[in-house]
Structure 1
Amino acid sequence: MTNNLMTFFPSLQVLSEYPTELNEDDYTFHNPQSHTWISIRKTEVTNREYGLLSSIYTEIKSRTAVNDLTSTKWLNFLKSAGPSPLNEAESVRIIQLYFKENNINEADITEACRAFFGDSMQLLFISSQSAYLIEKQTTYLCTVEDFSSFIAALESDFYSKARLYIGKFQPVNSHFPQHFSTEKDWFLNSIERHRAERIYTMENSFPFHLIQEMSEDMKHVLVKEILIPIDYDLELLQTVQLFFENGFNASITAKKLHIHRNTLQYRLAKFHNITGIPVRQFDGALVAYCASLIAEKH
């Protein structure tokens, strides 16, 4: 597609990252399918061609000078292409937002952020599907419950379904861009797994990345000792997984599975009888949980 466009627009450039500086002489569009951006000289584009490009891609337009300057500083810093926008002694965390729709209304999202967080957050729009919230470390820190209420409001008030990743506070020094790059990769990998979570953290993302880094020999042990004996029984695997994720709380686990507590006890006992692994003990539950994550990849 891009090669074909180059035939008609010789000035076309393909960008792999959000353009931090927009040239007023160019049209800039976002391609959500390839997650790339293209810029084309306005003088090469007719009104009809502009209409076609706008119907296929999402146009990226300049924002107000102050916000654009602040955003540019942050985006350059996160790419290790500029100095820190803040004193290096200060600490911030980045909350990454990913929207199901690829044509989010920036005005609506900005309004929602201002209503929920006031001036405590710096909002950066990255693409037509993603944005960052930058939170300084102060005496009051937003909680998981705050963010849960925020994305619930986005859905109810603006019909925008979102997922978010709550980063860890770090000093905004030269090491911060690498720290954030890791968090960005973790969030992307979590989204690609299509899990039901709406809010991600290092804690609930770590197990999946641990499995990714696990050697094939170790994975084979779990397959041989657990997955093959239970014949990859998804019902049993989901049960032990939720039992672990809910802190061995039988009542909460049964409620989330929509089953009676006696049914839950039966499934846990069945898993124990087949594998010999006691999932009511932490070490046994941990091994069973890892096996359930391996099964998900299959």
Structure 2
Amino acid sequence: MLDKLRMHYGDALVEHKHVSNQEAYEWFSTEHGELFGIKKEALTRKERQLLATLFTSHEPLPTWMSEQQQAWYRFLIHGAEHAFEQLPPSTHTRFIYFYIQKGTVDTRDFTEAIQSLFPYDVTIISETEQQWIVIEQQEESVASTLHEWIDTLCSDFYIQLRAYIGQKCLHSVELARIFAAEKRYFHVGLKHNPAQRVYCIEDVFPLLLISGEEMTYATMFLHAVKQEHDMLKTIKMFFECNLNVSLAAKKLHMHRNSLQYRIDKFIEKTSIDIKQFKGALTVYLAILLHEHH
């Protein structure tokens, strides 16, 4: 559908919101949550009405949001770096992405339902009626229980819902680029494994490589340990010994308990469970990328 619109409207159609004169465009989103805008001067009244029937009209800045939500919206969705100064201070931030595949929700009710799932305050914004983002700034995350939440939300709102748990990252202006990258990772997961309900980096990492995605932000979990060369060497040997702790300890000439301690420490620092296949595969591939770049 977008290809046909592009053929008709040409340069008057844009597929992102990072344009300086947003007010000059009418904004819409597809059923898959893809945003696009068409210059107002290129639209007739009937065309505007038709597009509003076929797609979801999208307001540049939702009025229901608080000042803090609006600051996050401007920073993440509009790409306004100056809005970063208006965000609440924090050391780390994590994004959790929700995509409503089927059904609709009341904005206020859905926001309250999501907030009730957290034992602490989170910021919730919606990019479109289908795409929602939870911004979590707590050191101890409860995102691991998201699988249970999905069932609850689907049942309460009669919707089909998918979610992606982003990585915990340092709170900086880089967050806007991390946000955009993780949205792409989520879409890759939806495309290649649509039946899955909750995704994280371990689920999509191999798919990102196959798809030729930029991997800079996919390997963020290594930042916490990339200077610890002995630990990385130890973990790599653990993988090459087929996750056999005793064999890896023997080859490394170290006590089994010492190796187990390093493995547990790695899991604690990266939040990636390398005792499980997906976690081990993700980290092994990330280490290889790190060694060759």
Corresponding residue number in structure 1 for 2:113: 112
Distance 1:2 1:75, change over 3 A: same
Corresponding residue number in structure 2 for 1:193: 192
- 1:121, 1:135 within 8 Å by CA — same for their partners in 2? yes
Give the aligned residue type for 1:60: H
| Aligned-residue offset at 1:39 | 4.4
Q: Distance in 1 between matches of 2:92 and 2:58?
A: 30
Give the aligned residue type for 1:198: R
Distance 1:29 1:181, change over 3 A: closer
- 2:164, 2:199 within 8 Å by CA — same for their partners in 1? yes
Corresponding residue number in structure 1 for 2:150: 151
Q: Distance in 2 between matches of 1:42 and 1:14?
A: 11
Q: Which runs of 5+ in 1 are unaligned?
A: 214-246, 248-281, 291-298
Deviations 1:262-293 (A, max 9, x none): xxxxxxxxxxxxxxxxxxxx8xx97xxx9xxx
Corresponding residue SS for 2:87: coil
Corresponding residue number in structure 2 for 1:54: 52
Corresponding residue number in structure 2 for 1:2: 5
State the superposition RMSD in angstroms. Answer: 3.9
Corresponding residue number in structure 2 for 1:82: 81
| Aligned-residue offset at 1:41 | 3.8
Deviations 1:60-92 (A, max 9, x none): 24532653x544432443375314243565211
Q: Which runs of 5+ in 2 are unaligned?
A: 213-242, 244-276, 286-293
> Percent identical across equivalent pairs?
23
Corresponding residue SS for 1:188: helix
Instruction: Report matched runs for 1:198-209 at 5 Å.
Output: 198-209=197-208
Corresponding residue SS for 1:117: coil
TM-score normalised to structure 2 length:
0.56
Corresponding residue SS for 2:81: coil
Q: Distance in 2 between matches of 1:155 and 1:33?
A: 18
Deviations 1:116-165 (A, max 9, x none): 23762211211232121101124x521422x2232112211111111111
Q: Distance in 2 between matches of 1:86 and 1:162?
A: 28
Instruction: Confirm whether residue 101 of structure 1 aligns to residue 102 of structure 2.
Output: yes
Q: Distance in 1 between matches of 2:171 and 2:56?
A: 32
- 2:105, 2:157 within 8 Å by CA — same for their partners in 1? no
- 2:25, 2:38 within 8 Å by CA — same for their partners in 1? yes
- 2:25, 2:37 within 8 Å by CA — same for their partners in 1? no
| Aligned-residue offset at 1:188 | 1.6
Instruction: Report matched runs for 1:1-298 at 5 Å.
Output: 1-2=4-5, 6=9, 13-18=12-17, 23=23, 27-32=26-31, 35-39=34-38, 41=40, 45-46=44-45, 49-61=47-59, 63-64=62-63, 66-67=65-66, 69-78=67-76, 81-83=80-82, 84=84, 85-86=86-87, 89-101=90-102, 105-117=106-118, 120-138=121-139, 140-145=140-145, 147-210=146-209
Corresponding residue SS for 2:141: coil
TM-score normalised to structure 1 length:
0.56
Corresponding residue number in structure 1 for 2:237: none
- 1:97, 1:164 within 8 Å by CA — same for their partners in 2? yes
Distance 1:116 1:19, change over 3 A: farther
Q: Distance in 2 between matches of 1:127 and 1:105?
A: 13
| Aligned-residue offset at 1:185 | 2.5
Aligned residues: 209
Question: In terms of Rg, which structure is larger?
Answer: 1
4+ residue stretches of structure 1 with deviation over 6 A? 19-22
Q: Distance in 2 between matches of 1:88 and 1:51?
A: 42
- 2:104, 2:129 within 8 Å by CA — same for their partners in 1? yes
